[in-house]
Amino acid sequence: MSTQAIKARANQAIWLFLGLLVAFSVGMPHLETVFHALFPKLARPVYLQTSFVDLLFSHIWLVVVSSVISVLIGVGVALFVTRPAGVAFRPLVETVVAICQTFPPVAVLAIAAPLIGMGSSPALIALVLYGLLPVVQSSIAGLTSVNPAVLEAAKGLGMSPFDRLRRVELPLALPVILAGIRISVTINIGTAAIASSVGAKTLGTPIIIGLSGFNTAYVIQGAIVVGLLAITTDMLFELLQQRLERSVNNTEKN
């Protein structure tokens, strides 16, 4: 199969998963007969306390807000330690990131909740903190991987340091930074699901309620929608990365 054909198939897969995601979140109440047949002993086989569309949106909102903050701070830190003024701090930042990554994401959440209180705010803080790590790591990697000859050439053209950053360094580093953001968002979708155990309203809520109330149907419904959300998001990133790489390659050829 040619690469063109593989890519075309990947694009179709995104539509498939996106369609399934929408279908399951909107149509879950209509699946009552199916779940009733699967779990005949359960009196209420479909989670109806909050609609899945609501849960999906508050899940996405939590992940988007935390990821935007993580990216702003993370790229900022990486920019600082790759400039001459901050280069001395680079080993330090890299060590801290490495130390913090041995922390399980759940642990950050569990420590934040008793200190800050229940609800969405401990979830948001945990998500931002943990999401920072891959972004910082990949941004440093991306910014330092830019070919010095290219930078030298930009300098030779008379570009100011800011122009070099904006028009040369950041565009060239973008694919690597994006790979870090992708990891960060994937982790955050999972941690946001667990955050329902500290009272945040996310797609994990039916899972947690189902697990504590022995309602396997709720668990499956939550798991399916959150799984579809994760896979669809990852595919979107894949597509974005492919587009970016293509455009970077094109610029390099020109």
Q: Point out which residues bind another protein (CB under 8 A).
A: 38, 88-89, 91-92, 95-96, 99, 101-107, 110-111, 113-115, 118, 186, 189-190, 193-194, 197-198, 204, 207-208, 210-211, 216, 219-220, 222-224, 226-227, 230-231, 233-234
CA proximity to 10, closest of 216, 164, 198, 237: 237
Q: Which two tokens stand for residue 203?
A: 């797609």
Measured from the CB atom, the residue of 27 and 91 that comes closer to another protein is: 91
**Cβ 212 to another protein shortest distance, Å:** 9
The alpha carbons of the chain give a radius of gyration, in whole angstroms, of: 22
Distance CA 231, CA 38 (A): 25
CB of 53 to another protein, least distance (A): 18
Task: Give min distance, CB of 191 to another protein, in A.
Answer: 8
Using the minimum distance from each CB to another protein, give the nearer residue, 19 or 114.
114
Of 1 and 149, which CB lies nearer to another protein in the complex structure? Answer: 1
Which 8-state DSSP code applies to residue 219?
A: H
Please say whether the dihedral angle defined by the alpha carbons of residues 92, 96, 97 and 98, taken in this order, is positive or negative: positive
In the bound state with another protein, the residue whose beta carbon lies nearer, of 172 and 184, is 184
Alpha-carbon gap, residue 42 to 49, rounded angstroms: 16
Q: How far is the CB of 240 from another protein (least distance, A)?
A: 15
Distance CA 209, CA 215 (A): 8
Q: How far is the CB of 40 from another protein (least distance, A)?
A: 13
Structure tokens at 247: 């455009």
